[in-house]
Homo-oligomer: A and B are copies of this chain.
Amino acid sequence: MSQINKLKILNDPIYGFISITNPLVYDLIQHPYFQRLRRISQMGMSYLVYPGAHHTRFHHALGCMHLMQKTVAVLRSKDVAISDDEENALCIAILLHDIGHGPFSHAMEHSIVEGISHEHISLMFMDELNKEFGGRLSLAISIFKGEYHRKFMLQLISSQMDMDRMDYLKRDSFYSGVAEGNINSERLIQMLNVQDDTLVVEEKGIYSVEKFIVARRLMYWQAYLHKTSVAAELVLTKILKRAKELTHSGVYLTASEPLRHFLVHRIGLEDFTPEVLTKFSYLDDFDIMGAVKAWQFHDDFVLRELSRMIINRDLPKIKLRAEKFTKDNLENLRNYLMELHSITEKEANYFVFKGKIKNQAYNKEGEPIHILRKDKSIEDVVAASDQLNLKALSKPVTKYYLCFPKELLQQAAF
């Protein structure tokens, strides 16, 4: 354990300074598990649309911790009792909440391992760190798992207006330059309070909450679900799929040692031994992009062409619309491509495919955002807003896409 317990201060272009005040937090940040997050891009392939979006999970996690510190200070000033141990646990829980993210964050969440969410892997990392640090993460883990008796603490970690969302909207907006996604986290935090063990926003903050939700929706359509980055992330997924397929059929692929492990083995929940966790902890954006760089010279047509698309940003076309694409739409394009390159249907499916993306600015089924009325009653923001728009915002929006190589642009004119 580190002997360095003096104040450590980091520069952050968003908040000015981030202070690390607790030695355990400092040691966790120094740990290779956490340092790994420096090599995991926060916004996946979005940098192909927004060239500034190269910030990392590492920076985001620090930002979340900073907002948690601010929140604890505001809540205490409103006479919400939070002990020093609880404060540290909250900081640790939010710091580590995303530590289980794999390369390119969400972009590859279901390509490397199967049927395991990043939250689940985060928990495995936390348990492992808890062992290393002699049980000193137990309270943080208890809060993270929703087992702690003070429920509002989980809401600070995971709810529709948690520290995570506040930081990522602000940070993603900042680095991408999608200025409209910016939110006023300082004001939102200033409005937070706890009533009946529930995290609430004071009534006068209702317009800020509206703005927060609208900003989130905008970031979804403008950034997270931007059709170009969606296309890039789909291509990346296809590359991994193809790589696994080739590997399983005995073809040799250049890959880093940890990546090879996940290409060769199908890793599901039950396979996630501590050894696998260690392998996973060696995996980051560099393994993926390093492999894709090598694969752009591979013999396999599919793997090679898909890899080139990413490396040279020569992305497929993507159509996005409110109505589903028909089987016919797809098959016509696929058949054309099969003929053009003399490839099989299976191979062509790597280049021509359809699907859907979904966005819900506010999830009525999830943990709601609670508004604290002046009479101390609590209401869901959807009910509390004197405008109906929040209700509307909680209606999910689905869009359908069809992806195909640029050379088929003419054929896709339907």
A342 near B: Cβ within 8 Å?
Answer: no
Nearest B residue (CB) for A59:
B51
A248 near B: Cβ within 8 Å?
Answer: no
**With a CB–CB cut-off of 8 A, which chain B residues contact A9?**
190
The digit string for A8-49, where 1 denotes a CB below 8 A from any CB of B, is: 011111101100000000000010100100110000000111
Determine which of B13, B257, B389 lies in contact with A294 in the assembled complex, contact meaning CB atoms within 8 Å. Answer: B257
Q: In which size bucket is the chain A interface? A: 35 or more
Determine which of B17, B207, B221 lies in contact with A190 in the assembled complex, contact meaning CB atoms within 8 Å. Answer: B17
The digit string for A242-256, where 1 denotes a CB below 8 A from any CB of B, is: 000000000000101
Determine which of B10, B180, B184, B297 lies in contact with A184 in the assembled complex, contact meaning CB atoms within 8 Å. Answer: B180
Closest CB of chain B to A23's CB: distance in Å? 15
A77 near B: Cβ within 8 Å?
Answer: yes
A408 near B: Cβ within 8 Å?
Answer: no
In contact, A256 and B11 (Cβ under 8 angstroms): no
With A55-B54, A178-B11, A221-B207 in contact, is A38–B47 under 8 Å at CB? yes
Complex Cα gap A58–B256 (Å): 26
Nearest B residue (CB) for A361:
B387
Complex Cα gap A51–B390 (Å): 32
Closest CB of chain B to A48's CB: distance in Å? 8
Complex Cα gap A178–B313 (Å): 31
Complex Cα gap A158–B287 (Å): 37
Closest CB of chain B to A226's CB: distance in Å? 10
Complex Cα gap A207–B180 (Å): 9
Determine which of B7, B179, B256, B361 lies in contact with A290 in the assembled complex, contact meaning CB atoms within 8 Å. Answer: B256
With A177-B12, A218-B208 in contact, is A54–B51 under 8 Å at CB? no
A413 near B: Cβ within 8 Å?
Answer: no
Closest CB of chain B to A161's CB: distance in Å? 14
Q: Which of A149-157, A209-217, A324-332 contacts B (4 or more CB under 8 A)?
A: A209-217
A311 near B: Cβ within 8 Å?
Answer: yes
The digit string for A192-229, where 1 denotes a CB below 8 A from any CB of B, is: 00000000000000011011001101100110000000
- Starting from the known contacts A9-B190, A35-B313, A287-B290, 11 additional A-B residue pairs (CB-CB under 8 Å) come to A12-B51, A12-B52, A16-B179, A16-B186, A39-B289, A210-B217, A211-B214, A211-B215, A211-B218, A322-B386, A389-B392
Chain A residues engaging chain B, CB cutoff 8 angstroms: 7, 9-14, 16-17, 30, 32, 35, 38-39, 47-52, 54-56, 58-59, 62, 77, 174-180, 182-184, 186-187, 190, 207-208, 210-211, 214-215, 217-218, 221-222, 254, 256-257, 282, 284, 286-287, 289-290, 293-294, 297, 311-314, 322, 361, 386-393, 395, 397
